Chains A and B, each alone.
Chain A
């Protein structure tokens, strides 16, 4: 149980375009979802936390107008990278929690901006 999926697993987009990444909890209701960014050989950096039906809470230094997060249902959260630039290229990982401390992680999405 406790499976989280992400789609797409890999996406390439041109500079200036927007790209949407989906995160779904497949077999449980996720009251809280988290979005992380991971650079090569570095740790996961928390970008934002979202609770279903509420606005996301962004970590310091994360541009909320650039990284739009929507958590409209208990099984789906989306991250939209707007006006993407090459420096946004990274590995984006989501996780979901059913209200307790344990987070269940998706497999990640690799974004390449050309």
Chain B
């Protein structure tokens, strides 16, 4: 079945540092890929997405590129802020007919950014 593996945290950075959170996936078809973010006390929010190979998703300074050859979707940000402290989840969506676009999640990576 489909699976998502992301780097384990926690990750602690200083403000303005560069962020990379690795994510690799296994899927039988050609899934869409997502990064979700969960701020403390809130529900998951879609951060960015990519629906086909070589697509780059971007939002709020975060980027991730759908790499089919390496089955990866690593999340990057050039300069993190304290407000980026949250749990980040990599996920893929099963686009098979009748799947209801079911999501498969990685375990999540806790990011803490210190001032």
Q: Chain B residues near A51: list those with CB within 8 A.
A: 100
Query: What is the total of A-B residue contacts with beta carbons within 8 Å?
Result: 53
Interface of B is mostly: strand
Q: Is the CB of B102 within 8 A of A43?
A: no
Q: Which A residues are in CB contact (< 8 Å) with B107?
A: 41-43
B103 near A: Cβ within 8 Å? yes
Bound-state Cα–Cα, A97 to B99, Å: 13
* Interface pair B108/A43, CB less than 8 Å apart: yes
CA distance A103 to B45 in the complex (A): 9
Residues from chain A with Cβ under 8 Å of B104 in the complex: 46
Interface size class of A (residues with CB under 8 A): 20 to 34
**Contact-size category for B:** 20 to 34
User: Which residues of A sit under 8 angstroms from B108, Cβ to Cβ?
Assistant: 41-43
Task: List B residues 68-115 near A (Cβ within 8 Å).
Answer: 89, 93, 95, 100-108
Q: Is A49 an interface residue (CB 8 A)?
A: yes
**B100 and A97 contact, CB distance less than 8 A:** yes
CB-CB contacts of B1-21 with A at 8 A, as 1s and 0s? 000100000000000000000
A93 interface contact, C-beta 8 A: yes
Q: Which residues of B contact A (CB under 8 A)?
A: 4, 32, 36, 41-46, 49, 89, 93, 95, 100-108
* 15 sample A-B contacts, Cβ–Cβ < 8 Å, listed by A number: A32-B101, A42-B107, A43-B89, A44-B44, A44-B103, A51-B100, A57-B100, A93-B43, A97-B101, A101-B32, A101-B95, A103-B46, A103-B101, A104-B43, A107-B42
Q: Interface on A for B, CB 8 Å cutoff?
A: 4, 32, 34, 41-44, 46, 49, 51, 57, 93, 95, 97, 100-108
